[in-house]
Structure 1
Amino acid sequence: MNHQLSVIGTGVIGNGWIARALAQGWDVVAFDPDPKAPARTHAFIENAWPSLQRLGLAESASPTRLRFVDSVEEAVIGADLIQENVPERLELKREMLAALDAAAEKHVIIGSSTSGFKPSDLQQDCHNAPGRVIVAHPFNPVYLLPLVELVGGEATVPDQLARAQAHYQALAMRPLVVRREIEGHIADRLMEALWREALHLVNDGVATTEEIDAAVVYGCGLRWSLMGTFLTFHLAGGEQGMRHMLEQFGPALKLPWTKLEAPELTNDLIDRVVDGCNHQAAGRSVAELDSRRDDFLVELLGLVQKYWPEAEGLEGRI
């Protein structure tokens, strides 16, 4: 059975969705009012395809399974999933999503690639089946990075999110269902916090952009790519894990090291963080996690040196 993704808006993100869907053997129908859009999309796919081949293509994968149409109404015919990627302006997105909601069959999920807007705001002008209009926020390059944040709005019911999750899994994505809607979702809020701090460091003359990027690439970024923030700090607590780390370093959260204000470190927050880390550790000792992390970092360092040659000039400064 063939699956069809309908893509509305074919900029960088829209084209990323197209390339991913084609690589997974889906049919893709695209709409973009710009007459130059098809040529740009075909060039994008040609550039992305070698990387997708190295990752592994579905047996039926082919760039020929893409076609452009002349209207939103045509684009949604036969769709299993619709992905909206118009520019990040709320009124424009509301207008497009309302048109998609009016044209598409009521059971079809409509995902918005918005990086910041809440789904309840996006659903406001949808009167056909507003609950199926959700946030489905990917990360660039969409054809390689697997994370997609799924966020339901006030009109969304659990079944709609469950169906969305299944569709994105069929696209070889790793869906993260956000527990409640919030501007910026999860990953972008984390990235924006680091971004704000990095801008402060540049503005205050503490470091250059290159030095800050080196600090991430050769420091925290290497660990984050395996275990994220919480499990990284869990290991920093030694055999006692997160609880000891918070007891030892928790008070430093209130020191004026950053331009961002930390939350109050209540006992409830500590318990939730500790319990979450213990769940992530899944019964593995800190020594086991240390070994897993170190094996990963040795291999990853080789990749960093291969793919980030610009950093060679920083060797004496990092």
Structure 2
Amino acid sequence: MNDTAMTTKKVAVIGTGVIGNGWIARFLATGFEVTAFDPANGAEAKSRQNVSDAWSAIEETGMTEDADQSKLSFAPTIEEAVKGAVLIQENVPERSELKQNVLAEIDRHADTEAMIGSSTSGIIPTELQMKLQHPERFFVSHPFNPVYLLPLVELVGGKQTDRGVLEKAKEFFAALKMKPLIIEKEVEGHVADRLMEALWREALHLVNDGVATTKEIDDAITYGAGLRWAQFGPFMTFHLAGGDQGMRHMLEQFGPALQLPWTKLEAPQLTDELKERVITGCESHADGRSVAELEEKRNEFLVKLLRLVEEYRV
């Protein structure tokens, strides 16, 4: 991968759902020309509307001088979409065979120097490389919603991924004002989703067992652990919990509690009753506000929170 390729200001986005449109907004905000492909009816109109809706929040976080919503175009085929792109970001539904087939088509038509990333949240890259002619340039580049605001992107290579490509990808995404994290060992769910899934399973048990409502659980995170995690994450938070001796004392003092049966690692049976409790709980908590209204409030919050994280993160 040469330096000339890295300076190319064109990317391709294949699949324009929530994540794909989030990528489009971030790419446009950092001055890239974006060519997208999605066979769904109305995909282009929806993408343009989503970008327009996100633009004010992106402006609050800062964008490059060459940021321009008009740099988005749609192509009628994958072949035309990927032509000339330095990076192709795939975001089709989370089905292994579908992704393999789409990635194989991308690989056939992409320029020689192009990198190919997948937004998969759970499938390991080695599985997705199986049908590629050039698997060495493929990796998982897993972002977090909303992609145009949240900076983390997990980069995971498969058995055939060139380490140099991962390093180039790290530079590329850092230039997008992101926080790229190279995951050294591939595992289903990568890192962040595995952590979130553990909390999600426990939350479902608490609802299922009648211990707490969905709102009470959300409040427990919002006004407790979540505030601390936003600054330091779980390990440094526990390090501070150990007093002057930090983590050393924390493990000695609270380590034995790890053996107590507090948590349930197995997910509960997703019965109709549990589904209804979760759904009605969330709808009640929303208090009549639409998803679009809640997203707007979320974006306002994240903009302010990101500023605090940058100021106080150590």
| Pairwise same-fold verdict (TM > 0.5) | yes
**Greater shift in the superposed pair: 162-171 or 176-185:** 162-171
Give the % identical residues: 60
Aligned to 1:97: 103
Q: TM-score, normalised by structure 2?
A: 0.82
- State how far apart, in whole Å, the 1-side matches of 2:261 and 2:127 are: 36
Aligned to 2:238: 233
Aligned residue among 36, 50, 59 for 2:56:
50
Write the deviation string for residues 218-242 of structure 1: whole angstroms up to 9, x where unpaired: 0000000000000000000000000
Alpha carbons 2:121, 2:189 under 8 Å: kept: yes
Aligned to 1:148: 153
Aligned to 1:255: 260
Aligned to 2:179: 174
Q: How does 1:1-318 map to 2 (within 5 A)?
A: 3-127=9-133, 129-260=134-265
- State how far apart, in whole Å, the 2-side matches of 1:220 and 1:42 are: 37
Taking only aligned residues, the RMSD between alpha carbons, in angstroms, comes to: 1.6
Alpha carbons 2:8, 2:85 under 8 Å: kept: no
- State how far apart, in whole Å, the 1-side matches of 2:70 and 2:42 are: 18
In the TM superposition, residue 214 of structure 1 has moved relative to its aligned partner by: 0.1
Aligned to 2:270: none
Alpha carbons 1:2, 1:27 under 8 Å: kept: no
Residues matched between the structures, number: 265
In the TM superposition, residue 105 of structure 1 has moved relative to its aligned partner by: 2.0
- State how far apart, in whole Å, the 2-side matches of 1:53 and 1:135 are: 28
Higher relative contact order (CA 8 A, sep 6+): 2
In the TM superposition, residue 55 of structure 1 has moved relative to its aligned partner by: 1.2
In the TM superposition, residue 169 of structure 1 has moved relative to its aligned partner by: 1.2
- State how far apart, in whole Å, the 1-side matches of 2:75 and 2:175 are: 24
Write the deviation string for residues 132-168 of structure 1: whole angstroms up to 9, x where unpaired: 1110000000000000000000001210101111111
Which residue identity lines up with residue 93 of structure 1 in the other structure?
K
In the TM superposition, residue 35 of structure 1 has moved relative to its aligned partner by: 3.1
**Greater shift in the superposed pair: 114-123 or 49-58:** 49-58
Alpha carbons 2:8, 2:86 under 8 Å: kept: no
Larger Rg: 1
Alpha carbons 1:97, 1:133 under 8 Å: kept: no
Aligned to 1:314: none
Secondary structure at the counterpart of residue 34 of structure 2: strand
In the TM superposition, residue 107 of structure 1 has moved relative to its aligned partner by: 2.2
- State how far apart, in whole Å, the 1-side matches of 2:113 and 2:32 are: 19
In the TM superposition, residue 170 of structure 1 has moved relative to its aligned partner by: 1.7
In the TM superposition, residue 131 of structure 1 has moved relative to its aligned partner by: 1.6
